[in-house]
A and B are shown apart, each in its own frame.
Chain A
Amino acid sequence: MSYQTLGIWIGALFTLCILSFLYKDNPFYKFAEHVFVGISAGYGVALQFHNVFLPNLWRPLMAGNLLMIIPLIMGGLLFTRFFASISWLSRWSIGMLIGIYSGIAIIGFGSGDLVLQIHGNLLPLWGTGLFTALNNWILTVGLIACLVYFFFSKEHKGSFGVVARIGIYFLMISFGASFGYTVMSRMSLLIGRFYYLYGDWLGILPQ
């Protein structure tokens, strides 16, 4: 038996262990779950070591780039969380990370989502073909109605309430579409797994 065949058999057995959870929680599932968590955690550390620590930190530091001591110290400060008396030092690193991600998020959401999405909905409501104009009206009315619904500082009553209700209907259509696509996604994952079990493991699928 080759390593590849052995690997497929072990993979298939672990797959069946996970699948057994559908019947009920059992020792096989628990065993597989704990093996998975252990292997994934160990995988992550080894990957970080080879893909980040060595090329981005260690080699530049050994080549003489002494500025790399700063991220080494900032990263090391994170581990002070394990020691109650000095755990406050980890806030320096966390503060830096949170600040950077907040700054990047503000720019990303502002330019990529807010401005361009509003711009994308400024569509001609007449002067184009009938079908295009109708679609543009639906998009415009739909967006405005949904944004009105999201405005919770004013009670949804009267004409404001009517517009908000139209917004809810558009949101329900969105969620329905999302549900349909979610079903598609989940079924695809199961198709992939059955293809692995029937095809790669048992080899009984027609070509």
Chain B
Amino acid sequence: MRKEIPLLITFLAGAFFIADYFIPHTGFSSWAETLNGWTIIVIAFAYVLGVANVARVNLDYIQRKGKDTPYKIILLVCLLFMMMVGIIWGIGEHTVFDWFFINIYSPMQAMMFALLAFYIASAAFRAFRIRSVQASLLAITAVLVMIGRVPIGEAIWKDFSNFSEWIMNVPQLAGKRAILIGAALGAISTGLKVLVGLERTHLGQD
């Protein structure tokens, strides 16, 4: 029964929410609202579980005395510090928690994502090779959209922006819509497989 009960719970939970979409009855909707509220709480526990796992993995590493042990200690100290400071002294503006978020977390996360600009330029130079008709079409569209969507495009040709807007609204849209429809069909079939129990990977191994 270790897999059957969870599968039954999966089916009942999913079917309930699908039914909620179609059943306007107030009593039914209020139960859906309650279940929604419970889900938000359980998901929050899942987030904390993830963090606890991070702590556990790093503690194991420290016990094994790997070469990056000092860094793992720093990680755990920062984790505990931020957690305690936030829980005990609050998370609003002008708190220590907020100061660390704005001055350490925020700049670092922003810079990590900004590094991608360098790598995309490097990839454009070293890996973007126009070897076929398809690749040429990709490259030409990329260049037209890249130049057309910035002010320099309008300075080169006043209708460049309108032309790149046409590319986005017509040929590009056709491809994206096909991907949307295909993805929707895939998501619906995967969702149904999960609900009826054909897809069980989320339950893990015995």
Contacts and interface: CB of A to CB of B under 8 A. Distances in A.
A and B touch in the complex (CB under 8 A): yes
A142 B9 contact: no
Interface in A181-207: 181-184, 186-187, 189-190, 192-193, 196
Interface string B176-205: 111111111101101110110000001110
Nearest to B133: A169
Interface of A: 3, 6-8, 10-12, 14-15, 18-19, 21-22, 30-50, 52-53, 56-57, 67-68, 70-72, 74-76, 78-79, 81-82, 88, 91-100, 102-107, 109-111, 113-114, 117-118, 120-121, 135, 138-139, 141-143, 145-147, 149-150, 167-177, 179-184, 186-187, 189-190, 192-193, 196
Nearest to B39: A100
A38 B108 CA distance: 12
Given A19-B111, A193-B111, A98 B194 contact: yes
A142 B14 contact: no
B54 A43 contact: no
Taking residues whose C-beta sits less than 8 angstroms from the other chain, chain B's interface range is: 35 or more
B40 to A, nearest CB: 6
B38 A74 contact: yes
B152 interface: no
B114 A193 contact: yes
B23 interface: no
Nearest to A148: B178
A141 B150 CA distance: 30
